[in-house]
Amino acid sequence: GQQLNQSPQSMFIQEGEDVSMNCTSSSIFNTWLWYKQDPGEGPVLLIALYKAGELTSNGRLTAQFGITRKDSFLNISASIPSDVGIYFCAGKDYNQGGKLIFGQGTELSVKP
Amino acid sequence: DTAVSQTPKYLVTQMGNDKSIKCEQNLGHDTMYWYKQDSKKFLKIMFSYNNKELIINETVPNRFSPKSPDKAHLNLHINSLELGDSAVYFCASSPWGPTGQGNSEAFFGQGTRLTVV
């Protein structure tokens, strides 16, 4: 079945540092999404990517849709304590009812 | 205004019991989903409904039965609960088909933490 490999699994960083995480897939997706999950909450969409090579920003967050359509990365610049949470990449499969295939998640801890 | 709301937020029950989780969305979306998040935080789709019709059933045990009375509601009924069913269950909704718009991707509810003892 389709799988997404997300790395790193966890990160412990100092406030103000930049963060980078990425996802690779064994198959092509037409849409890549990045979600953030706070404790006790559901995932919230951060960035959506629709075209190969697309680079999109949302405040301090920047994400890119890989040219091969099999990978994506998310960068967070100048991290702050409220960036703490679990970040998930997801590939959207339109051939299967728009279901999302999620990566394993990157748990981010930010030390003030 | 809660976009996707699910109840209850917490559910503790004994093995063998039958329980239901309810989900409602007020976004006007055509498609609703149930996802399961295990203890390692891995999210996996269980079911998808489009306009009350089952689209996806990801080899979930038939003890799990989704029901969609209308396109704004998707409930999940679980029979004969087992210890391994303990997890967080998320309802989500989205428009049907490619949207190309970030504000039209899947919205998730707050989750229902199910604990089977």
Q: In the prediction, which pLDDT does B1 show?
A: 67
The pair of three-digit structure tokens given for residue B102, joined into one six-digit string: 């970030």
Q: Which residues contact A102 (CB under 8 A, 6 or more apart)?
A: A4, A88, A89, A90, B42, B43, B44
What is the per-residue pLDDT for B100?
61
If pLDDT is split at 50, 70 and 90, which confidence band does B33 have?
Answer: very high
Q: What pLDDT digit, counting tens, does each position of A58-83 carry?
A: 999 999 999 999 999 999 999 999 99
Nearest residue on chain B to A43, alpha-carbon basis? B108
Q: Which residues touch B15 (CB under 8 Å, ≥6 apart)?
A: B81, B82, B83, B116, B117
Q: pLDDT grade, residue B98 (50/70/90)?
A: low
Question: What does the pLDDT average to over B103-115?
Answer: 89
CB proximity A45 to B under 8 Å: yes
Q: Over range A93-109, report the average pLDDT.
A: 87
A88 contacts on B by Cβ (under 8 Å): 43
A54 CA: distance to closest CA in chain B (Å): 12
With cut-offs at 50, 70 and 90, classify the pLDDT of residue B104. low
Contact B11, B17 (CB under 8 A): no
**Cβ–Cβ gap A41/B107 under 8 Å:** no
Looking at the complex, does the CB of residue A99 fall below 8 Å from at least one CB of chain B?
yes
Q: Is the pLDDT of residue B86 over 70?
A: yes
Q: Which pLDDT tens digit goes with each residue over A17-65?
A: 999 999 999 989 989 999 999 999 999 999 999 999 999 999 999 999 9
Lowest mean pLDDT among A73-87, B19-33, B41-55: B41-55
Q: Which tokens belong to B84?
A: 């391994």
Locate A5 and state its tokens.
């490999």
Query: Searching chain B, which residue's CA lies closest to the CA of residue A36?
Result: B108
What number is the average pLDDT over the span A101-112?
A: 95
Give B56-77 pLDDT, tens digit per residue. Answer: 888 789 999 999 999 999 999 9
**Is the bond leading into A39 cis (omega within 30 degrees of zero)?**
no
CA distance, residue B102 to nearest chain A CA (Å): 5
pLDDT higher than 90, residue A91: yes
